[in-house]
């Protein structure tokens, strides 16, 4: 079974440029998460999808960040324009979102963003 796939693994851009990250979750996983992980810290939730609906985007900085999950499968996270403080690892995770498996997340390897 294929795991969660993210791309690109690494991205270096100059500030004020746009950037996009793509995530393909495990087949059959209805719940998809985007997390932000700063160096030396735990993941922080940006947005959670149930199928194609964003059910929790309270921590997403909507002035510059946007996300979509068309057709309820893969997802894209975009930053426009990027700022120096956006340098971090962006993690995508998926889960079945049901019952005792609700908190059992499967993570991708992450997309490391460096903003110069």
Partner 1 sequence: AQSVTQLGSHVSVSEGALVLLRCNYSSSVPPYLFWYVQYPNQGLQLLLKYTSAATLVKGINGFEAEFKKSETSFHLTKPSAHMSDAAEYFCAVSGYSSASKIIFGSGTRLSIRP
98 lines the binding site for partner 1 (CB under 8 A): yes
43 lines the binding site for partner 1 (CB under 8 A): yes
Residue 10, both tokens: 């690494």
Enumerate residues 78-97 that contact partner 1 by CB under 8 A.
Answer: 91, 93, 97
Q: Between residues 26 and 81, which has the closer beta carbon with respect to partner 1?
A: 26
To which H or E segment does residue 24 belong? strand 19-24
Contact pick of 46, 67, 75, 110 for partner 1 (by CB under 8 A): 110
């Amino acid at each position: 079974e294929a795991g969660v796939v993210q791309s690109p693994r690494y991205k270096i851009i100059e500030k004020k440029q746009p950037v996009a990250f793509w995530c393909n979750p495990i087949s059959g996983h209805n719940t998809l998460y985007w997390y932000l992980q700063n160096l030396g810290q735990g993941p922080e939730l940006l947005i959670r999808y149930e199928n194609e609906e964003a059910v929790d985007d309270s921590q997403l900085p909507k002035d510059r960040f946007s996300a979509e999950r068309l057709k309820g499968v893969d997802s894209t996270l975009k930053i426009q324009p990027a700022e120096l403080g956006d340098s971090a690892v962006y993690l995508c995770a998926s889960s079945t979102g049901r019952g005792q498996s609700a908190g059992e997340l499967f993570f991708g390897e992450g997309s490391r963003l460096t903003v110069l």
